[in-house]
Amino acid sequence: MDQDPINAAGPLRRLETMLLIRAYEDQLVELQRNGAPGTCTSVGQEACAVGVVEALDARDRIVSNHRSAGHLIARGADPHRLMAEVLGRVDGYCGGRSGSLHISARELGVVLTSTIVGGELSLAPGVALAQKMGKGEPGGIVAVFFGDGAACEGIFHEALNLAVHWQLPMLFVCENNQWQAFVHRLETMADTAIAEWARGHGLPVATVDGNDVEAVHDAAAAAVASIRATGRPQFLELSTYRQRGHFEPDDQAYVDPAELQVWLTRDPIRRQHERLLELGHIDAAGLAAMARRTRTRIETALAFAQASAWPAPDSLLEHVYA
Amino acid sequence: MTKTTRMNAEQAMHLALREEMQRDADVLLMGEGVATKQRDLVAAFGTDRVRNTPLAEAIIAGTAVGAAASGLRPVIDLLFAPFMAYAMDALVNSAGKLRYLSGGQFEFPLVAIGMTGTGWCVGAQHNHNLEAMFVHTPGLKVVMPAEPADFKGLLKAAIRDDNPVLFFADLALLHQEGEVPDADDFIVPLGKAALRRPGDDVTLVSYAKTVGVCLEAARQLEDQGISAEVIDLRSLKPLDEDAVLRSVRKTGRLVIVHEASGLCGIAAELAALAATKAFAALRAPVVRLTGPDAPMASSWVLEQTAVPKPEAVTDAVLELIAYDHSTPTWLGEALPAGSRSEEPVLMKAY
């Protein structure tokens, strides 16, 4: 990370983006308590999204999964339209047809999202193939986000094999959040399996602390530069933790409280904020102002979403077929 | 006069692929062996556009979906239709749903080809007529041609369509020959049935190889003074409801014939259609002649027993003609699937 105070803009921006993601998802949890449609949050995984997405540029494409809020917001998605989508309103990115789970935003390059664990891995090589065959902007790559659960799907191996063999410009980003729906990953796989599997397929692999946004950003930037230069895929395994349950509401009765506590002390936002305080890039008042700004944005987004119209019932069959 | 060339269905499909790849540089072909078996396409269009793949249907289909959403028009050859079970997530959850779920942000112009059907004794894991599964899936279109010209014209239409299209090729028809129009703009539109034989007394509706069964039945019925109309659906989704209804309103009798099993199948859908929209015209119950709710056996005799035969069709029609509303019987139960004849009539393989 750049420790020159003059260049503190990047780390500060990343902190604010993580705060915005957290505020947005906290709001979704709150809405859910009041009967809004449920959601799969990425609380605790914000550094993965922000660190990787900030290393991409406008040429690049993102393929995401059901825990997509961080990827979307880091890419610049408007919380107003995200919130409207979650509430099923016409101003949502998908006109209310997606809800929180399958949001894609073509204008942002978040091109496809599958909630079927592993589905994103099946789609991403095709997006990259199109890039390679001249359908995207020159030099563009595809970043695909998935978790340790998807790594246990057969499609994980099919996608890696194809990407290596066809030399597809792809960044595989495994957000290893330790949980596969309601099962701890160590019940289903060897501890170091994911990186080893990727290496076995011939991909360069970096295993990174996924709760350190600067470490993630540095690793992602290096990988992206290499993919652009070589046209070949790379793999990032980001070690992180899903702080909330699989799907709201979830009492997390199956979670070991001691393990959760350890990971809460490694919270990515808290770490970035302590780091920036220590480096003198921000002070307590600055942090408070930043937190207020993000909360206000989300409050405004919620008001916008609640004021947005419901889709017309007679639009039910629009967009089934082209 | 349309210029035509005599060729079989497999050649007609190849011609369609070649013409469409020539016409549109975004069309690419992927699958296990597509480059190995079609060297002329590799020579003409290069290895970027004619791609052998790993034997991994899920990633073949997923890659096609991702590529289709990104501006390409992939055609994937999944070999045998039952292999599509491995590709279901990409075809059903992604290709069929992501346009809708994204609020229309993406189109998925792709074609997935699978062979199926009796005649080659390949057994149930290579022969399973699962077209109705895909008809039941929103966002997908489904075609299953019977004649070489339609293999060409429907495949070209499928490639040009902006939606995902499942193209089922009946194994037993692949080497049957017919006249195929030469014109490279020859298209058979999706959703249009073909009237194969006009008639007044009964409507026989079918698709793929059992169209031939119906035509043979119609010839036999003619000898008995009964005029049967034969409709080849060609497209199963969109379904040409008007063509079926127009005919049923004329004849008052409907027999639907297909090799796929009957439960929740195309015949069930058409029976419901007739009951809903042509009830007043029906002079007798609707009859479905379909394959059984059983996996396909490999043994020639068992395989052929599962297929509706012309004799079963003529028997059904004779019962319908004799049907009297004042003394109703349950025709469907009296008619087992398959043939009462001992000779396999569809293909003499050996």
Name the band, by pLDDT with cuts 50, 70 and 90, for residue B338: very low
Domain harbouring A91, CATH code = 3.40.50.970
Q: What is the pLDDT along chain A (322 residues), one digit of tens a residue?
A: 445 555 789 999 999 999 999 999 999 999 998 888 889 999 999 999 999 999 999 999 999 999 999 999 999 999 999 999 999 999 999 999 999 999 999 999 999 999 999 999 999 999 999 999 999 899 999 999 999 999 999 999 999 999 999 999 999 999 999 999 999 999 999 998 899 999 999 999 999 999 999 999 999 999 999 999 999 999 999 999 999 999 998 989 999 999 999 999 999 999 999 999 999 999 999 999 999 999 999 999 999 999 999 999 999 999 999 9
3-state helix vs strand vs coil in chain A, percent to 5: 50, 10, 40
pLDDT at residue A7, as a whole number: 75
Whether A321 is covered by a domain: the verdict is: no
pLDDT at residue B284, as a whole number: 96
Name the band, by pLDDT with cuts 50, 70 and 90, for residue B348: very low
Best of A123, A157, A168, A170 to disrupt the B interface by mutation (most B CBs within 10 Å)?
A123
Distance CA B162, CA B209 (A): 28
A43 in helix, strand or coil? coil
pLDDT at residue A1, as a whole number: 47
Whether A319 is covered by a domain: the verdict is: no
Cβ contacts of residue A296 below 8 Å, gap of 6+?
none
pLDDT at residue B331, as a whole number: 52
B186 has a chain A CB within 8 A of its CB: no
Q: Which amino acid is at B122?
A: V
Q: B70 CA to chain A: closest CA distance, Å?
A: 6
A221 in helix, strand or coil? helix
Whether A61 is covered by a domain: the verdict is: yes
pLDDT at residue A34, as a whole number: 87
Domain count, chain A: 1
Indicate if the pLDDT at residue B346 is higher than 80.
no
Whether A320 is covered by a domain: the verdict is: no
Name the DSSP letter for residue A312: P
Judge: B59–A95 Cβ closer than 8 Å, yes or no.
no
pLDDT at residue B336, as a whole number: 46
Asked whether B246 and B268 are in contact (CB, 8 A), the reply is no
Asked whether B167 and B194 are in contact (CB, 8 A), the reply is no
Region B27-54 average pLDDT? 97
B53 has a chain A CB within 8 A of its CB: yes
Name the band, by pLDDT with cuts 50, 70 and 90, for residue B343: very low
Indicate if the pLDDT at residue B339 is higher than 80.
no
pLDDT at residue A132, as a whole number: 97
Whether A160 is covered by a domain: the verdict is: yes
Contacts of B94 in chain A (CB under 8 A): 112, 114, 116, 119, 122-123
pLDDT at residue B324, as a whole number: 78
Region B235-256 average pLDDT? 98
Interface subset of A 273-292, CB within 8 angstroms of B:
none
Taking alpha carbons only, the member of A84, A32, A11, A44 closest to residue A298 is A84
Q: Which domains does chain B have, with CATH numbers?
A: 4-181 (3.40.50.970), 194-334 (3.40.50.920)
Indicate if the pLDDT at residue B277 is higher than 50.
yes
Q: Which domain holds residue A127?
A: 5-308
Judge: B71–A135 Cβ closer than 8 Å, yes or no.
yes
CB atoms within 10 A of CB A314: 7
Q: Nearest CB to B101: which of A98, A106, A127? A: A98
pLDDT at residue B335, as a whole number: 44
Tell me the pLDDT tens digit for each residue of A114-170.
999 999 999 999 999 999 999 989 999 999 999 999 999 999 999 999 999 999 999
Name the DSSP letter for residue B256: E
Mean pLDDT over each residue of chain B, to the nearest integer: 93
Judge: A94–B53 Cβ closer than 8 Å, yes or no.
no
Measured in residues, chain A has a length of 322
Q: Nearest CB to B59: which of A122, A130, A321? A: A122
pLDDT at residue A6, as a whole number: 57
Whether A47 is covered by a domain: the verdict is: yes
pLDDT at residue A35, as a whole number: 86
Distance CA B152, CA B5 (A): 12
pLDDT at residue A18, as a whole number: 98
Contacts of B48 in chain A (CB under 8 A): 133
Contacts of A322 in chain B (CB under 8 A): 99, 107-109, 161-163
Q: Which two structure tokens, joined as six digits, stand for A146?
A: 């998935």
Indicate if the pLDDT at residue B3 is higher than 80.
yes
Q: Could you tell me how many CB contacts below 8 A there are between chain A and chain B?
A: 154
Taking alpha carbons only, the member of B136, B113, B117, B119 closest to residue B127 is B117
CB atoms within 10 A of CB B85: 14
pTM of the model: 0.94
